[in-house]
């Protein structure tokens, strides 16, 4: 059991809490932040458990990595399946842009449903 130190702020004793060293340097992006926010608002027990065990940031970083890989894979698969190629980009840039944006939006939605908000 760790010794917890406290500091007094007015009439209150506030614990001096710090992240474990392995958690302190973990960084994650959009997907990890979205998942952390989801856990905080909808899965409070899991959020609290991960936080008190010092594993919340590691968990969110893993979700971030999975989401990035999944996004890249989905986009490439959809581009291939729908014939969105470099030739289309050279031939009709506006069509290519519209189709890529549509593919990316669908990939983000799949990731949200299957990974972030699960």
The set of residues, in sequence order, having a beta carbon less than 8 Å from that of 65 and lying 6+ positions away, is none
Burial class (CB in 10 A: 0-12, 13-18, 19+), 107: buried
pLDDT tens for the chain, 118 residues long, are 467 788 999 999 888 877 667 666 788 899 999 999 999 999 999 999 998 888 999 999 999 999 999 999 999 999 999 999 999 999 999 999 999 999 999 999 999 999 999 8
Domain boundaries, the chain: 27-116
What is the pTM (predicted TM-score) of this model? Answer: 0.78
């Amino acid at each position: 059991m760790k010794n917890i130190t406290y500091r007094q702020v007015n009439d209150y004793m506030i614990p001096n809490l710090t992240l474990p060293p392995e958690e302190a340097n973990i960084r994650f992006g959009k997907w990890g932040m979205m998942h952390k926010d989801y856990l905080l608002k909808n899965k409070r027990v899991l959020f609290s458990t991960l936080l008190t065990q010092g594993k919340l940031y590691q968990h969110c970083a893993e979700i971030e990595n999975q989401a990035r890989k999944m996004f890249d894979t989905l986009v490439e698969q959809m581009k291939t399946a729908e014939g969105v190629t470099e030739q289309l980009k050279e031939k009709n840039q506006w069509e290519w842009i519209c189709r890529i944006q549509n593919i990316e939006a669908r990939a983000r939605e799949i990731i949200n449903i299957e990974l972030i908000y699960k």
